[in-house]
């Protein structure tokens, strides 16, 4: 007998005969299904456990949705976006890449100027003032994990494109990002 059917019986002052026990059991089943759905929706209210409403979370934060992305990547992308405070210094972007599992170094390019440049420096041009060269030293990917991944997902996933999209989205508007793999 469903747990809610037992609770409904306790509400009655007397034991009823006839069709009432079957009615109480049916009502108990309905209450059990509503309670199960409420528990599911409670889980959906947290980004790290959302499944049905994950696309909604991504749209609220303006994240790109790719059907090939594993569930773990999508959860991590939403959580990272929620935690972002935003800054424009190199340390912030290095720290942000580290949160996604990348070790990077960022060079800010400048045109070669007398008194500032050294022998062997890259010449550059006037546009290089607005270029960040990001060296990816190490990076890892996601691996399929029971309980965190879904059926049909890849067993492993490299998110190189994720890093590029993230940096292009958050970089200062007047800059150009160039990514090189060391």
pLDDT digits (tens, 9 = 90+) for 98-136: 877 788 888 877 666 677 767 776 665 555 556 778 888
Q: What pTM does this model have?
A: 0.49
pLDDT tens digits for range 129-178: 567 788 888 766 666 777 777 787 777 666 667 777 778 877 777 777 77
Q: Clarify whether residues 35 and 95 are in a common domain.
A: no
Q: Is residue 52 part of a domain?
A: no
User: What is the domain extent for residue 155?
Assistant: 86-181
Does residue 63 lie within any of the structural domains?
A: no
62 inside domain: no
Domain count across the chain: 2
Q: Is 74 domain-assigned?
A: no
Whether 7 is covered by a domain: the verdict is yes
Tell me, letter by letter, the H, E, C secondary structure of 43-112.
HHCCHHHCCCCHHHHHHHCCCCCCCCCCHHHHHHHHHHHHHCCCCCCHHHHHHHHHHCCEEEEEEECCCC
Question: Within a domain: residue 31?
Answer: yes
């Amino acid at each position: 007998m469903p747990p809610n059917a037992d609770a409904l019986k306790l509400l009655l002052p007397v034991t009823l005969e006839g069709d009432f026990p079957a009615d109480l059991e049916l009502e108990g089943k309905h209450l059990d299904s509503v309670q199960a759905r409420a528990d599911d929706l409670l889980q959906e209210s947290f980004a790290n456990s959302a499944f049905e409403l994950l696309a909604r979370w991504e749209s609220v934060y303006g994240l790109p949705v790719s059907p090939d992305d594993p569930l773990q990547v999508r959860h991590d992308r939403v959580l990272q976006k929620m935690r972002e405070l935003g800054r424009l210094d190199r340390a912030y972007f290095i720290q942000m890449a580290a949160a996604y599992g990348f070790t990077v170094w960022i060079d800010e390019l400048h045109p070669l100027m007398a008194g500032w440049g050294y022998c062997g420096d890259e010449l550059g041009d006037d546009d290089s003032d607005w270029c960040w060269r990001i060296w990816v030293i190490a990076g890892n990917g996601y691996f399929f994990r029971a309980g965190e991944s879904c059926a049909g997902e890849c067993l492993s996933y490299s998110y190189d494109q994720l890093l590029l999209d993230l940096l292009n989205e958050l970089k200062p508007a007047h800059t150009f990002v160039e990514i090189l793999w060391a």
